[in-house]
């Protein structure tokens, strides 16, 4: 029996509509599934990777704003994200020991890149042991180099997007070069004898070296894992008195009680704004990105040490 023309037309239309739906589903799914899964350990690294990868990658940041990478204990969700990852960026030089152990154990299928470890470190003396200082982002020129590596790694992972990644990296590197010059100019406004930075933990060696400050004593070394002894506190109080610094600085990822005690005993003030050392700030903090964080830190330091106000 012949099928009616109306039936055939209806069927063709249905097939066409179905085909269209399948086609757009595949196109959407294709673009979605093709985006590589990239994991970053710290909020700083996540910001740099996002600047380069933007919407062409699926980015997960394991640490959230305000968390201290030195003492962070990984959560089960971190293991899941690492197992699914195509590419993992971490800091290295033992900044995030808990996460580095987890990456070693779980992210077997992913390419793993220790961004700080592509750089020549400043070697700190940690309890008599020479230890690479992981806080490399204090010198903006180091970040320019790490962004270059991020673009290379993403391009290798998604070659069809290589030009996009390289263009984003170049634009961001230009902003970073501007930031580097801006910081140096503003630190220069601090009277030379007052260019001394005293903080709770030893996180600003790269910053001070790059921009012409000296570092004062520290309660804690380059890690924040240990509490200082009464002896360390007494030594730092004496050091701060001798240095005659106008102010010392608390850090957002650390309890300010220690530095406040030391400052009170030494008779100096603690700068009202805390410094962002190992993490970006939360929404509304004014330090939500690496560039904003470096500007805010510089403003805080310049104002507290008697330079020309760097910020409006
Ligand atoms: Zn640190």
Could you tell me the distance, in angstroms and rounded to a whole number, from the CA of residue 276 to the centre of ligand 1? 10
3-state helix vs strand vs coil in the chain, percent to 5? 55, 10, 35
Q: In angstroms, what is the span from residue 95 Cα to ligand 1's centroid?
A: 7
Domain co-membership, 216 together with 248:
yes
Residues 283 and 213 in one domain: yes
Q: How far is the CA of 5 from the centre of ligand 1 (A)?
A: 76
For residue 58, how far is its CA from the centre of ligand 1 (angstroms)? 27
Interatomic CA distance for residues 114 and 148, integer angstroms: 13
Q: If pLDDT is split at 50, 70 and 90, which confidence band does 13 have?
A: low
Last residue of a domain, one of 181, 196, 212: 181
With respect to residue 6, please indicate whether it lies within any of the assigned structural domains: no
pLDDT tens-place string over residues 160-176: 999 999 999 999 999 99
Q: Does 23 have pLDDT greater than 60?
A: no
Q: With respect to residue 196, please indicate whether it lies within any of the assigned structural domains.
A: yes
Answer left, alpha or beta for residue 99, where phi above 0 means left and psi between -120 and 50 means alpha: alpha
What pTM did the predictor assign? 0.87
Please check whether residues 194 and 131 belong to one and the same domain. no
pLDDT attached to residue 310: 66
The CA distance from 196 to 45, in Å, is 27
Ligand 1 center from residue 233 Cα (angstroms): 19
User: Domain for residue 121, yes or no?
Assistant: yes
Split into its structural domains, the chain has a count of 2
Ligand 1 centroid to residue 220 C-alpha, Å = 10
Q: Does residue 201 belong to any structural domain of this protein? A: yes
* Whole-number Å distance between alpha carbons of 266 and 238: 7
Do 170 and 204 have their domain in common?
no
276 pLDDT band (50/70/90 cuts)? very high
pLDDT at 113: 98
Domain enclosing residue 157, as ranges = 34-181
Domain identity same for 122 and 198: no
Whether the predicted pLDDT of 20 surpasses 80: no
> Mean pLDDT across the stretch 265-271?
94
Q: What is the mean pLDDT of residues 232-248?
A: 90
For residue 130, what is the domain's CATH number?
A: 3.40.50.1980
Nearest C-alpha neighbor of 69 from the set 277, 220, 288: 277
| Rounded average pLDDT over 186-213 | 94
Tell me: do 159 and 257 sit in the same domain: no
Question: Distance from the CA of 130 to the center of ligand 1, in angstroms?
Answer: 16
166 and 221 inside one domain: no
Give the domain-ending residue among 148, 181, 214.
181
46, 214, 229, 274, 285 from 269: Cα distances, Å: 34, 18, 22, 12, 22
The mean pLDDT value for 29-54 works out to 87
Residues 120 and 214 in one domain: no
**pLDDT > 70: percent of the chain:** 89
Query: Ligand 1 mean position to 96 CA, how many Å?
Result: 9
Note whether 38 and 49 are within 8 A (CB): yes
The stretch 211-216 carries a mean pLDDT of 92
Is position 240 within any domain? yes
CA of 281 to the centre of ligand 1 (A): 15
Of 181, 203, 224, the residue that ends a domain is: 181
């Amino acid at each position: 029996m012949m099928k009616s023309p109306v039936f055939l037309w209806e069927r063709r239309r249905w097939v066409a509509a179905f085909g269209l739906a399948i086609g757009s589903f595949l196109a959407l799914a294709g673009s979605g599934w093709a985006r590589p899964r990239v994991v970053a350990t710290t909020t700083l690294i996540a910001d740099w990777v996002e600047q380069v990868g933007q919407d062409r990658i699926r980015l997960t940041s394991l640490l959230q704003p305000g968390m201290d990478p030195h003492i962070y204990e990984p959560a089960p969700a971190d293991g899941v994200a690492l197992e699914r990852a195509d590419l993992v960026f971490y800091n290295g030089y033992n900044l995030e020991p808990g996460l580095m152990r987890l990456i070693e154990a779980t992210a077997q299928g992913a390419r793993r890149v220790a961004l700080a470890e592509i750089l020549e470190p400043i070697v700190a003396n940690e309890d008599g042991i020479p230890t690479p200082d992981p806080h490399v982002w204090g010198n903006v020129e180091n970040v320019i180099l790490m962004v270059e590596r991020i673009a290379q790694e993403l391009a290798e992972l998604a070659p069809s997007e290589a030009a996009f990644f390289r263009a984003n990296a170049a634009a961001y590197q230009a902003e970073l070069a501007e930031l580097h010059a801006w910081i140096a100019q503003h630190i220069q406004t601090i009277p030379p004898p007052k260019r001394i930075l005293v903080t709770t933990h030893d996180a600003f060696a790269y910053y001070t070296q790059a921009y012409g400050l000296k570092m004062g004593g520290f309660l804690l070394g380059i890690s924040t894992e240990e509490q200082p002894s009464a002896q360390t506190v007494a030594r730092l109080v004496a050091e701060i008195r001798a240095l005659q610094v106008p102010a010392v600085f608390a850090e957002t990822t650390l309890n300010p009680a220690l530095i406040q005690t030391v400052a009170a005993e030494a008779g100096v003030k603690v700068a009202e704004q805390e410094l962002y050392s190992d993490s970006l700030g939360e929404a509304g903090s004014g330090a939500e990105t690496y560039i904003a964080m470096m500007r805010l830190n510089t403003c805080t330091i310049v104002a507290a040490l008697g330079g020309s106000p760097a910020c409006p």
